[in-house]
Amino acid sequence: MGVIELKLALMALILASAWIGGLIPLGKATSQSSHFLSLGNAFAAGIFLGIGLIHMLGEASDTWRTSLGLDYPMALLLAGAAFLFLLWFEHVALQDRFHDAVHAPGGIIPDFDHATSSANGTPNTEDSPAQKIALYPYALIVALSIHSLIAGITMGAQNSIANVLLIFVAIAAHKSTAGFALGVSLARNAVPRGRALRLIGLFSVMTPIGIIVGLLVTDALDGRAQILFQAVFLSLAAGSFIYIAAFDILRDEFLQPGPRAVKWLLTAVGYALMGLLALWL
């Protein structure tokens, strides 16, 4: 099986995992499911951190220096820029009501009647609570889609089977749990089933779209331009993966009640596994 065929096969698995993960909670979101989601997220954070720091950032730095002849630490610069962009988008650009909803513990919508009151205690009637709940899933989808597209484009741009498999492991470790979290939040907030299915479907196809874009752009380029494209997206994806681990997963997970020692251990195991893989890949 060639690299392109492998990407297409893995793309189908990513699509299926996101779709299934999102569908499961629509029947019933249980506290036990949320508990396992939390532990799975901690493990996924270690994988994201390890792939971002050890594999992507390391390879991107080598590519900029050896293949492109640049002594400047461009990989670190772009990784930091991606980190800062995602931080700005999720915590500055989003309006307060969307920010609070996207980052609510366990995907629970905050109490808009109280959260949107003015400083003097007068309710803010600019948007009704029903309107804000209706808009919330779209804000969440946008936030999730940016990560998915960057990861997908990076996977699609790779020519190495080892790199494709590594990125797939990271995406698969988080895509199903992210889909599950989305499904939980949709179920808990009584989003109509038809709309919920469309939103889960939209989330599911974002990474495959990114993979196809990466494939097409890489195929259209050759020589130095192709290497440059791969180096840029490896660098950006490294920053994105580090951000997902630090802000989207660990920050939220360790603020929640639960077995924090177990979460830390699972995060460390995920990171250590990626370190061990670096011995062979």
Residue 121 lies in a domain: no
Give the model's pLDDT for residue 181.
72
Three-class DSSP labels, 115-150 = HCECCCCCECCCCCHHHHHHHHHHHHHHHHHHHHHH
Distance of alpha carbon 90 from alpha carbon 100, whole angstroms? 10
Residue 152 lies in a domain: yes
Q: pLDDT in tens for each of the 281 residues of the chain?
A: 688 889 999 999 999 988 888 887 776 545 555 677 777 778 888 988 998 999 889 999 999 999 999 999 999 999 999 999 988 988 888 767 666 656 655 444 444 344 444 444 444 444 544 444 555 566 667 777 888 888 899 899 888 888 888 889 888 877 777 787 777 777 766 778 888 888 888 889 999 999 999 999 988 988 899 899 989 989 998 998 899 888 878 887 787 777 889 999 999 999 999 899 888 76
Residue 151 · residue 170 · CB < 8 Å? yes
Q: What share of the chain is helix, strand, coil (3-state, %, to 5)?
A: 80, 0, 15
Print the domain residue range for 198: 3-116+130-277
Number of separate domains in the chain: 1
Give the model's pLDDT for residue 67.
92
E strand segments, the chain: none
Give the model's pLDDT for residue 34.
62
Residue 173 lies in a domain: yes
Cα torsion 190, 193, 198, 204: sign: positive
Give the model's pLDDT for residue 129.
47
Residue 263 lies in a domain: yes
Q: Is 158 left (phi over 0), alpha (psi -120 to 50) or beta?
A: beta
Residue 179 lies in a domain: yes
Residue 99 lies in a domain: yes
Residue 125 lies in a domain: no
Residue 122 lies in a domain: no
Give the model's pLDDT for residue 113.
42
Residue type, 15: L
For residue 212, count CB atoms less than 10 angstroms from its CB and return exposed for 0-12, middle for 13-18, buried for 19 or more. Answer: middle
Distance of alpha carbon 56 from alpha carbon 61, whole angstroms? 8
Give the model's pLDDT for residue 68.
93
Give the model's pLDDT for residue 124.
47
Cα atoms found within 13 Å of the Cα of residue 238, Cβ hemisphere only = 25
Residue 123 · residue 117 · CB < 8 Å? yes
Residue 52 · residue 171 · CB < 8 Å? no
Output the pTM of the full model: 0.76
Angle at 231 between CA 230 and CA 236, to 5 degrees: 100
Distance of alpha carbon 7 from alpha carbon 161, whole angstroms? 9
Three-class DSSP labels, 229-270 = HHHHHHHHHHHHHHHHHHHHHHHHHCCCCCCHHHHHHHHHHH
DSSP code of 110?
P
